[in-house]
Amino acid sequence: MSFFKNLTWQTLIKSFLLLTSLVVIGGFLLIAALIMTPGTFFKPLIHLLSEKSNLNLTVENVRGNLLRGL
């Protein structure tokens, strides 16, 4: 019970900000993993985009451009 006695608005805000930053960093890591992994998520998305816009997109071209941009 001593934990709840010491709980203040400052600790609540700090814990919320820490949790939010961890979720954001995890999201960025997930997106990076999806970009780097050929096939599962990224390939159908590129295929769909190239069909709709009549562009000649390949996974290698898009991944190379993204990595060059980083």
Q: What is the pLDDT of residue 23?
A: 94
Written as tens digits, the pLDDT of the chain (70 aa) is: 566 667 788 888 889 999 999 999 998 888 877 777 766 666 676 666 666 666 666 666 777 777 776 5
| Whether residue 70 sits in one domain with residue 49 | yes
Which residues constitute the domain of residue 60?
A: 38-70
| Whether residue 70 sits in one domain with residue 55 | yes
Q: How many domains does the chain have?
A: 2
Nearest-angstrom CA–CA distance, 12 and 2? 15
Q: What is the pLDDT of residue 19?
A: 94
| Whether residue 44 sits in one domain with residue 16 | no
Q: What is the pLDDT of residue 21?
A: 95
Q: What is the pLDDT of residue 10?
A: 85
| Whether residue 63 sits in one domain with residue 45 | yes
| Whether residue 28 sits in one domain with residue 13 | yes
| Whether residue 68 sits in one domain with residue 44 | yes
| Whether residue 27 sits in one domain with residue 51 | no
Task: Report the candidate in 64, 26, 25 with the shortest Cα–Cα distance to residue 42.
Answer: 64
